[in-house]
Amino acid sequence: MNNRIYNCLRAEPLSPSNKCLITFALLLFAQISVAQDTTKLIEIEVTAIRQSTSFQKTIKIDSIDLANQSNRNLGELLANHTTIFIKNYGNGALGTTSFRGGSANQTAILWEGLNIKNSMLGQTDLSLLPLALFNSVQIDYGGGSALWGSDAMGGSIHLSGSNKQLKQGLSLITQLGSSSLNAMNAFTGFSYAAKKLSTETKIYLNQNKNQFKYIDTNLSKEPITIKHAAYNNFGFMQNVNYAIHPNHQIKLSLWFNSFDRQLPNFSQTFKSKQYQYDRNTKLITQHHYFKSRIAANTKLAYFGDVLNYIDSIAGIYSYSRVENLVIDHENKFQINKRSRFQSGFNLSGSKAITKNYEDSERLLRMGLYMMYSYNWLDNLTTSAVIRYEVTNLTKIPVTGNLNLSYQLTKRCFLKLNAANVFRQPSLNELFWLPGGNRNLLPENGNVFDGEIRYQKNHSNLAFDISLAAYHKIINNWILWLPGPNGNPSPKNIQQVFSRGTETSTKLTYQLKSLKVGMQFLTHYCLSTITKQDQDYTNSLNKQLIYTPRYTGNFNLFVQFKSASLQMNNQYVGYRFTSSDNSGWLNPYYVSSIRLNYQFILGKESNVNLFAASQNLFNSNYHIVENRPMPLRYFEFGLSINYYKPKTNIKS
Amino acid sequence: MRLITYCFLLLSFTACVKDKPTMVPKETIHLSVAKKVFIINEGGLNDNKASISLFDPGTNQVVENYYGAQNNNQVLGSIAQSLTYFQSNYYIVINNSNKVVVCDYQFKKTGQISGLMSPRYFLPVSNQKAYVSDLYANQIHIIDLGTNTKTGSIACPGWTEQMVLLYNKVFVCNYRKDYLYVINATTNLISDSIPVGKNAGSLVIDRFDNLWVLSSGESTNAVPAKLSKIDPISHNILKTYTFQLNESPNSLCLNKGKDSIYFINKNIYRMRVSDSDLPTTPFVVAGSKVFYGLGVNPTNYNIYVADAVDYVQKSNVFIYNTSGELTYNFKAGINANGFYFES
């Protein structure tokens, strides 16, 4: 495969005050002229060594869906295109996952194969992950701790910001957008690729006054405009690939993100003075080696997260900084036609600085994994993974996976996965003062899951159906309980049993210039507390809070010539708000619609106009109690895509 | 293939558990003539589930949301902090909703005191005037009880907490300072401050008119908790009891005879006001329970303890007799933090 260029530069509507966008564009156009001097280089291709797609249920988000939602964040994408429940505290506010009945800490979110959670919090805020940056979003369902380490208990989400489909040449994307919430967003991306070198630059700016309306039914039936909920997100990502030899490639990825937000308090009496400032810096350097039956990848990474929370009324000025240094190595050896061996290690050190710890606390970890796959018949493959991990704080159990992949018929596939999984307690759970508990054990458990899938193409019609089921028991589940003087303290308190089914139906029909597609997803999840080390608790055998039993999505896509229409519908069932299931939130159903029209400017250059309505049917809903979501609002914008093939570039 | 398709369709549209939760039918409750116990349930932060439960010791029956029951299911607000009864009115302090809800003797809402920042405790200091302590306002609010309005304030930096009135002086705990503040109830001026240590939150007056103040200390800075016995006239500290560094006691209460004090220090402890040392043996062992609120019924010496469990389910309330034996337990609202005993 050729190393092809991507380019994405999207800038968005700038209000007159936002002259910085113009600066982006100027900078990028300046880069084009520089890039044109690049000479002919050799071809390169690199694929990830660790792959769980062969034995776990996997969804890869369609590139059209990614492009259509590039002004949104990862949480919004997952809510629209998967049945993972996203616990969203409001537009632009904290968003976390509940994956197959797990907690927010039990999903591993990886960028370029490395876990990017905030080590203090033990989780990733999905609102900090703008989709404009990512060319690939892949979701692996089921236990995967042996491969991906801590957190991959319910599943893992893999993000990649580099485009493996880059075309040789130059490309540029500029996107501008605005919304009726008094928001504007701009994205600009530039890429250049030749045989040996490729570079991608992405810059984004999202300013949102976030003046959405909601209805507080306790006060009135009239909509209220939310106050003090604005946010401002800015950042950039730079990827550079260089093939130093036909078998060696180095890659550098740098990502800086700045997210400032106001936090509303919904008080009718006084205005909130709460703010949160996030600064995230991530740098990964990689070396790939590949030759006939061997492939190896080594990464050196630095992740720094600063979280500054201010509540001037409460007198809270909380500053925390956590830094992670990671060395990760993996290699693959194809022993013969049927068997393959993989192994790798991960060394990481996390250091947190906050006045809420007794000292600058450190977490040092070393993980080692090995995987062996054997292809018994052409249609049957089994594999086994084992992982040994040690830390300076917590004793981690040995984990592993046993997998089977079987092609039942020409079009029918079966995947089975049995796994031990674990989660290392977060730094806050261990050290936060007051309340942190240094004696916490890791959460651990067993997961069994499988998927059967049937795919068929018939004339102009293609369909793909999948049925998955899972069974997961997690022990030593950590809960924050009331501690001395009312201060909460985390404890390994309960066992949770999650089980459920997922279905997926996709149909696509194409006739000449008309293309119609639909996707129907369902998820049924029972996640109940089966053991609790407290007397007089009423949560035994009750559904976990904020874990809907039923979720469903129905998405529709119609394209005719240059025009396309996409509609997303999401249903989320009852969510309990109390662990004894005595309080709950009603189900909600939300829809969005988006219209695109593309003007072709040249062979591979075009201008796209779009208009969208979020919450089309004006549903007044809360995902989290007393955290209202916006009533209907509108978005519109344009994107310009420009591509210049390599052959046209002067050399 | 057909079998797979049928299974798929079946699982797409069916499941085992009905999604809609079942509403528990409300029982008809007949209250006895016994003196009632009101339980203050904070609810969760921002969930508008603050409530007051009513327990009838005569029948052992509980009205779960007594305020809602008496006020057409009105919502009380977010974080009920305290309840005070004065001149046939109940004053419910709703901390996160920035207000004090005023109810008549039947618990029907008659008014509301607004304009407060983060109110904590309500203390009537005369027939016309009350003080309200506050978490963030850096002041004590002065309330006109005739109009239920805020008429002024007394600057008092820090998180002011429980207060008592004695000899026309109001003694105010302050979590953020090392001192107990003394306010002249007539002039509304701070007249003195008494060093009692870090995180003083609760205080009582014993049968000898001595003040007892419990400071929780600050284990993060190696400051131990203290129990201070104070002469309210001279403001001299008569005795200080010092806890171990890892202890963080709270919720100081008195018994009916005002000669024994109780507090939570993970377990429940009891000591006589004449004791020279802190108790070493728990009066009630917590075990796996998480004690969050404490009260002693002035009519019968029974000790009421609230267990918040996991913050997100109904609390347990345990009733112990004076021998520390559990006599009854029942469910109250989320995060029960204290009690008001009808007398």
- The count of other CB atoms within 10 Å of the CB of residue B20 is 10
Structure tokens at B307: 């267990």
Mutant choice from A453, A491, A536, A627 vs B, greatest count of B C-beta within 10 A: A536
Name the residue in chain A with its Cα closest to that of B20: A574
User: Which residues 13-42 in chain B show a CB within 8 A of chain A?
Assistant: 15-17, 19-21, 24
Mutant choice from A485, A493, A546, A578 vs B, greatest count of B C-beta within 10 A: A485
Q: Examine the pLDDT at A23 and tell me if it is beyond 50.
A: no
Cβ contact (<8 Å) for B46 and A625? yes
A522–chain B nearest CA distance, Å: 6
- Decide if B267 touches A, using CB distance below 8 A: no
Name the residue in chain A with its Cα closest to that of B263: A485
Cβ contact (<8 Å) for B11 and A536? no
Task: Return all residues near B153 (Cβ < 8 A) that are at least 6 apart.
Answer: B137, B139, B140, B141, B142
- The count of other CB atoms within 10 Å of the CB of residue A393 is 19
d(C-alpha B192, C-alpha B184), whole Å:
9
pLDDT at B159: 93
pLDDT at A165: 66
A603–chain B nearest CA distance, Å: 43
- Decide if B240 touches A, using CB distance below 8 A: no
Nearest to A218 among B24, B75, B99 (CB): B75
Residue A526: C-alpha distances to residues A152, A235, B50 (Å): 19, 39, 29
- Interface confidence (ipTM) of the complex: 0.89
Which among A80, A58, A73, A76 is positioned nearest to A138, based on CA atoms? Answer: A58
Nearest to A486 among B98, B247, B292 (CB): B292
Nearest to B220 among A315, A433, A587 (CB): A433
Name the residue in chain A with its Cα closest to that of B293: A486
pLDDT at A261: 96
d(C-alpha A105, C-alpha A117), whole Å:
9
Q: What value does the mean pLDDT take over residues A588-611? A: 93
Q: Examine the pLDDT at B222 and tell me if it is beyond 60.
A: yes
pLDDT at B12: 53
Chain A contact set for B12 (CB, 8 A): 503, 505, 520, 522
Q: What value does the mean pLDDT take over residues A464-483? A: 92
User: Which residues 199-228 in chain B show a CB within 8 A of chain A?
Assistant: 199, 216, 219-220
Which among B5, B59, B3, B65 is positioned nearest to B32, based on CA atoms? Answer: B59
pLDDT at A447: 96
Q: Examine the pLDDT at B1 and tell me if it is beyond 60.
A: no
The band of A353, judged by pLDDT with boundaries at 50, 70 and 90, is very high
pLDDT at A36: 36
pLDDT at B45: 76
Q: What value does the mean pLDDT take over residues A334-340? A: 93
Chain B contact set for A501 (CB, 8 A): 11, 15
Q: Any idea which residue has 């703008």 for tokens?
A: A130
pLDDT at A533: 84
- Decide if B71 touches A, using CB distance below 8 A: no
Name the residue in chain A with its Cα closest to that of B8: A467
Chain A contact set for B4 (CB, 8 A): 412, 452, 454, 467
Query: What are the pLDDT digits (tens) for A488-507?
Result: 889 998 999 999 999 999 99
Chain A contact set for B249 (CB, 8 A): 485
Of A172-176, B14-18, B338-342, the least confident: B14-18
Name the residue in chain A with its Cα closest to that of B6: A467
- Decide if B286 touches A, using CB distance below 8 A: no
Chain A contact set for B99 (CB, 8 A): 269
- Better-predicted residue by pLDDT, A371 or A46: A371
Q: Are A537 and B313 in contact (CB under 8 A)?
A: yes
Chain A contact set for B316 (CB, 8 A): 536
pLDDT at A27: 39
Chain A contact set for B21 (CB, 8 A): 574, 576, 581, 584
What does the DSSP 8-state code read for residue A486? G
Cβ contact (<8 Å) for B314 and A582? yes
Q: Examine the pLDDT at A33 and tell me if it is beyond 70.
A: no
Cβ contact (<8 Å) for B250 and A501? no
Q: What value does the mean pLDDT take over residues B36-41? A: 97
Q: What value does the mean pLDDT take over residues B11-22? A: 72
pLDDT at A39: 33
The band of A7, judged by pLDDT with boundaries at 50, 70 and 90, is very low
Chain A contact set for B5 (CB, 8 A): 454, 465
pLDDT at A162: 75
pLDDT at A46: 53
pLDDT at A485: 64
Q: Examine the pLDDT at B303 and tell me if it is beyond 90.
A: yes
- Decide if B10 touches A, using CB distance below 8 A: no
Query: What are the pLDDT digits (tens) for B252-285?
Result: 999 999 999 999 999 999 999 999 999 999 999 9
B317–chain A nearest CA distance, Å: 10
Nearest to B1 among A454, A493, A545 (CB): A454
Chain A contact set for B22 (CB, 8 A): none
Cβ contact (<8 Å) for B314 and A533? no
What is the four-CA torsion angle of B66, B67, B68, B70, rounded to 10 degrees?
80
Name the residue in chain B with its Cα closest to that of A521: B12
d(C-alpha B98, C-alpha B78), whole Å:
9
CB pairs under 8 A between A and B: 149
d(C-alpha A328, C-alpha A349), whole Å:
12
Cβ contact (<8 Å) for B199 and A534? no
Q: Are A91 and A630 in contact (CB under 8 A)?
A: yes
User: Which residues 179-198 in chain B show a CB within 8 A of chain A?
Assistant: none
Cβ contact (<8 Å) for A467 and B314? no
Cβ contact (<8 Å) for A481 and B311? yes
Q: Examine the pLDDT at A49 and tell me if it is beyond 90.
A: no
Query: What are the pLDDT digits (tens) for B42-63?
Result: 998 778 889 999 999 999 999 9
Structure tokens at B177: 């300072």
Q: Examine the pLDDT at B14 and tell me if it is beyond 70.
A: no
A155–chain B nearest CA distance, Å: 21
Q: Are A85 and A546 in contact (CB under 8 A)?
A: yes
The band of A19, judged by pLDDT with boundaries at 50, 70 and 90, is very low
- Percent of residues, chain A, with pLDDT higher than 70: 90
Nearest to B289 among A480, A484, A536 (CB): A536
Task: Return all residues near A228 (Cβ < 8 A) that are at least 6 apart.
Answer: A262, A263, A264, A265, A271, A272, A274
Nearest to B314 among A501, A538, A574 (CB): A538
Strand-pair partners of A98: A85
Chain A contact set for B287 (CB, 8 A): 535
Name the residue in chain B with its Cα closest to that of A314: B136
What is the four-CA torsion angle of B93, B96, B97, B99, rounded to 10 degrees?
30
Amino acid, res. A358: E
- Decide if B311 touches A, using CB distance below 8 A: yes
pLDDT at A65: 83
Chain A contact set for B305 (CB, 8 A): none
d(C-alpha A64, C-alpha A62), whole Å:
5
Chain B contact set for A506 (CB, 8 A): none
pLDDT at A47: 60
- Decide if B329 touches A, using CB distance below 8 A: yes
Q: What value does the mean pLDDT take over residues B148-172? A: 96
The band of A219, judged by pLDDT with boundaries at 50, 70 and 90, is confident
Nearest to B250 among A485, A574, A627 (CB): A485
pLDDT at A53: 65
pTM: 0.89
